[in-house]
Amino acid sequence: MFEGGRDVVDQIVARLRRPVRIDPSLDARVMERIAALATPRRASSLAAAWRWLTEPRHVALSPLGGLAVAAGLVALALLFPTLARRPSPTIRDLQFVLVAPQATTVSLIGDFNDWDAARTPMRLARGSGAEWTAVVPLSPGRYRYAFLVNGSLWLADPAAPAALDNDYGDGSSVVTVAGS
């Protein structure tokens, strides 16, 4: 087909450089095919918003940008100290004492244990014979409470202020835990 050497190469180059004749109706036929394809349904704006919200994104941050963000956070914390120093409730152990020589059981019940007699049984102090005690951790606030002696007798704490908001007749007492 080719006669050897350099002529062969020249002939190949000449053949490749020859322009290819294109059918003039090609563009029209391509567009016709595209128009015939099914149009994909357009997603609703709600779905688009959902996709925008849920798709993970990569955030690029330069070291300088990172420092600027950190500085901004520190400035916010300084401007709004309540954000930086959210007050943490101080829990205090409070000891409740009742002197009840005739008692066989004493329970401490109040706003801090759902008024449940089984939750905080008081213990007889060793060697006293009559002093019942219980220690309860409480955060600052005002609590109403009472003692339940032998499972049926209600007693207000004689060493504490009485609760004026006493809606049920039996006496209740108040303990106030200071926060500062």
Partner 1 sequence: MTARRLLPALAVGLVATLLARRAAAQDPRLARLEPGTRALVAALVDSARAAGLPAEPLVQRALEGATKRAPGDRIVAAVRRLGADLGRAREILGSAASLAELEAGAAALRAGAAPAVLAELRRTRRQPLTVPLAVLADLVASGVPADSAATAVLALAATARDADLVEFRRAVERDIALGAPPAAAASVRLNAAAREARPGPP
User: Which residue's CB is nearer to partner 1, number 32 or number 116?
Assistant: 116
Q: How far is the CB of 164 from partner 1 (least distance, A)?
A: 5
Alpha carbon distance 46, 96 (integer Å): 60
Alpha carbon distance 93, 48 (integer Å): 55
CB atoms within 10 A of CB 148: 21
Q: How far is the CB of 136 from partner 1 (least distance, A)?
A: 15
Residues in the site for partner 1, rule: CB under 8 A? 43-44, 46-47, 50-51, 54, 109, 111, 114-117, 140-142, 144, 148, 154, 161-165, 167-170, 172, 174, 176, 178-180
Alpha carbon distance 30, 84 (integer Å): 65
Q: How far is the CB of 98 from partner 1 (least distance, A)?
A: 17
Q: Is the dihedral of CA 61, 63, 65, 69 positive or negative?
A: positive
User: Which residue's CB is nearer to partner 1, number 17 or number 42?
Assistant: 42
CB-CB contact of 136 with 93 (8 Å): yes
Q: How far is the CB of 54 from partner 1 (least distance, A)?
A: 8
